Structure 1
Amino acid sequence: MMGGMAGLEGREQPRGHGRATTARWSPAIEDECALEALELFGNPTEGEVPLPSRPESAAVARRLAQMVVLRQWGLGPRITEDVVLLVSELVGNAVRHTGARVFGLRMRRFRGRVRVEVRDPSRGLPCLMPVQETDLSGRGLFLVDRLSDRWGVDLLPRGKTTWFEMKVTDR
């Protein structure tokens, strides 16, 4: 799980930047990494972005979500933090449970809400399980259920799209 936006714990250090693991997180470094992710993978607001089904893709998806929600859409840090966390949970589920080689990430903004979609080729449905305080895993959909306004799964002819929506204030 990811801590607050300003913390270093739970954050992956980008490759090739020569920072030691004791380096401090900064918004400038995070913006640089997010711009790098946009260049490499594409903008999830312009169409579905394909990501490899590897644990590192959760970090890429978080960076893309942060760039879109905070910088492109201009929404506040609170909504950004929640969207980034929930994107990470959906991507983590796609990587761990679907057996896919690639999955897709898409982000859309509508009047009064944002929608994030993760598409994968598995038709296996995610399951919201009861969570205990002492559980070390299995909290992903619990967090999605608690922090989003709506979430669901759309079955496709080949796979599914797991999505969540959050209400936002339009300017």
Structure 2
Amino acid sequence: MNYLVLHGLGGSKDGHWQEWLTESLRRKGKKVWFPQFSDWDRPIKSVWLKQLNRTIEQIPDEPLTVVAHSLGCILWIHHAAQRLSRRIDRVIMVCPPSPYHEKAEIQDFFPLPEAKQPLAAAAKKSLFVLSTNDPFLPQEDMAHFLSYHLPCFIIPEQGHINLDSGYGPWP
């Protein structure tokens, strides 16, 4: 099994759980790709999408699990909308930001593609992980991600599931 980890705005650094996951999997002998997308603080969708596509082309055609956080989830949704030929085994999308969020730095990633079926078709299994008090996804906006009709695990009051909400290395 190969792994692809997709960070969000500002990267996943300084003890973020995605760093911990990457190192933990590598210590177990797993192949992990953790591309560091350019200009973390002022991302451009077309640039990140090209970088993601290039990274996926480098990964052997073997089972692949994608683990995305925050804006990385939104990037994955845009990637899936391209309807490329490679189908992924598993995708876990943790705390995507609201498609109605007004944060200027990420507006290039919105709106999301209207067609929702390509996201389900891009992987054999997909899962959203959401938190009831994510400051970047108000509860009333969760319905957008539920409308993809993919499994969704909603965790009570865990914030954005990042360092600010206590998620560095996991046990």
TM-score, normalising length: structure 2 = 0.31
- Ranked by relative contact order (alpha carbons within 8 Å, sequence separation 6 or more), the top structure is 2
User: Over alpha carbons, which structure has the higher Rg?
Assistant: 1
TM-score, normalising length: structure 1 = 0.31
